[in-house]
């Protein structure tokens, strides 16, 4: 089946890059494990396939699927989200360039940019992305190559105006990079809002089953794509065939999963909002969230990620995090099962003591696709330990 950009999201998710196998008619394309490909004479490549680091039919199918869902012309699949980000930065920046990023960025991203690539000569300035004047000032103060934003952000759930940031970046000759991991392409398509590059940890909602690690870059510019593709091939942090297959399988059901994640996230957030033990609920689907109206404008729904802060401080947050049974205490997010995370000591431990440090009274919930009544009952039981 040929896939058109005019077709619906779920149709594209199921069919993009997924033509049936022509010899047998197998509806699910085979997984290609070969590391190398026979040539018809020296340089006589079959459909361009030469060596597995450069090309693989299973990875190519995933990349076509990702591009179709993000509205991009090119997509690249990597062994992890950070491998994708590292390849992007090395492909499009040089020593002396600068990255302006959100002051609540994912800890691993900041560690990569500051702790690894900082030694290579890439500077960075963390800034509140909601303060557009502060963003303009930071961009103008340096040789800025990237404005880098997560929206919703991890784990403070801040919402950033993608169109406004794109204008600021482009006025300065910079590129806007959007980490779309929390929203997924089902809820938000940053390229359509003016972004130049979209990055993902496909480990999360795209894979969706907590059984595969991966990352992706999607662009809509042939020149950028050529540079990224060169680094993907030259450095080689590509997704393996089975990882690509598992990610493709997960991506086919992204739409129906995100509907359920979003419904559960909304219900959990509304329940938390009424609890006397809670200091703040960070969820863009709540009218009280400062980014609610903007999220309504640039997102289809509000997602399954909910962060909550407790009046009882660090002790209360730790108590709840360690006393659930349906919510599993673990890193990562976006799987069909609900996960509980204490960012200050887990996903964001690397930014403790910096401007990006996460409040110690905060836990992050990744609401899965279980029955929402069971999620709320699990939290209610955990809350009894606070008394």
Active-site residue list: 53, 106, 179, 204
Instruction: State the Cα–Cα distance between residues 142 and 182, nearest whole angstrom.
Output: 29
Contact 256, 105 (CB under 8 A): no
Pairing of strands 278-282, 305-310: antiparallel
> How many C-beta atoms surround the C-beta of residue 85 within 10 A?
25
List CB contacts of 171: < 8 A, sequence separation 6 or more. Answer: none
CA distances from 281 to 14, 73, 132, 262, 308 (A): 35, 38, 24, 15, 5
List CB contacts of 136: < 8 A, sequence separation 6 or more. Answer: 168
Task: Name beta bridge partners: 144.
Answer: 98
H, E, C per residue of 282-317: ECCCCCCCCCHHHHHHHCCCCCCEEEEEECCHHHHH
């Amino acid at each position: 089946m040929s896939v058109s950009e005019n077709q619906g999201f779920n149709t594209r998710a199921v069919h993009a890059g997924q033509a049936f196998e022509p010899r047998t008619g197998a509806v699910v394309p085979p997984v290609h494990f070969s590391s190398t490909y026979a040539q018809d004479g020296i340089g006589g490549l079959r459909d361009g396939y030469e060596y597995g680091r450069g090309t693989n039919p299973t990875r190519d199918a995933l990349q076509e699927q990702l591009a179709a869902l993000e509205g991009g012309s090119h997509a690249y699949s990597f062994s992890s989200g950070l491998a994708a980000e590292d390849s992007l930065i090395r492909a499009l920046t040089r020593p002396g360039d600068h990255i302006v990023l959100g002051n609540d960025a994912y800890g691993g991203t900041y560690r990569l940019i500051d702790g690894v690539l900082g030694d290579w000569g890439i500077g960075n300035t963390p800034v509140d992305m909601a303060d557009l004047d502060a963003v303009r000032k930071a961009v103008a103060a340096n040789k800025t190559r990237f404005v880098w934003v997560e929206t919703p952000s991890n784990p403070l759930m801040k919402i950033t105006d993608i169109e406004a940031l794109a204008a600021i970046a482009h006025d300065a000759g910079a590129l806007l990079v959007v980490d779309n991991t929390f929203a997924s392409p089902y809820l938000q398509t940053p390229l359509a809002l003016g972004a130049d590059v979209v990055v993902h940890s496909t480990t999360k909602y795209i894979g969706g089953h907590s059984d595969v690690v991966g990352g992706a870059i999607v662009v809509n510019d042939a020149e950028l794509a050529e540079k990224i593709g060169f680094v993907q091939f030259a450095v080689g942090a590509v997704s393996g065939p089975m990882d690509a297959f598992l990610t493709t399988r997960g991506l086919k059901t992204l739409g129906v999963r995100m509907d359920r994640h979003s419904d559960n996230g909304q219900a959990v957030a509304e329940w938390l909002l009424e609890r006397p033990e809670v200091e703040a609920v960070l969820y863009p689907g709540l009218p009280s969230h400062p980014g609610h109206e903007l999220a309504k404008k640039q997102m289809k729904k509000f997602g399954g990620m909910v962060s909550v802060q407790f009046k009882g401080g660090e002790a209360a947050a730790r108590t709840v995090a360690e006393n659930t049974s349906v919510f599993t205490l673990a890193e990562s997010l976006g799987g069909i099962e609900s996960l509980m995370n204490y960012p200050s000591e887990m996903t964001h431990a690397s930014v403790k003591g910096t401007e990006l440090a996460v409040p110690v009274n905060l836990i992050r919930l990744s609401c899965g696709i279980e029955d929402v009544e069971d999620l709320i009952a699990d939290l209610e039981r955990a809350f009894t330990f606070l008394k």
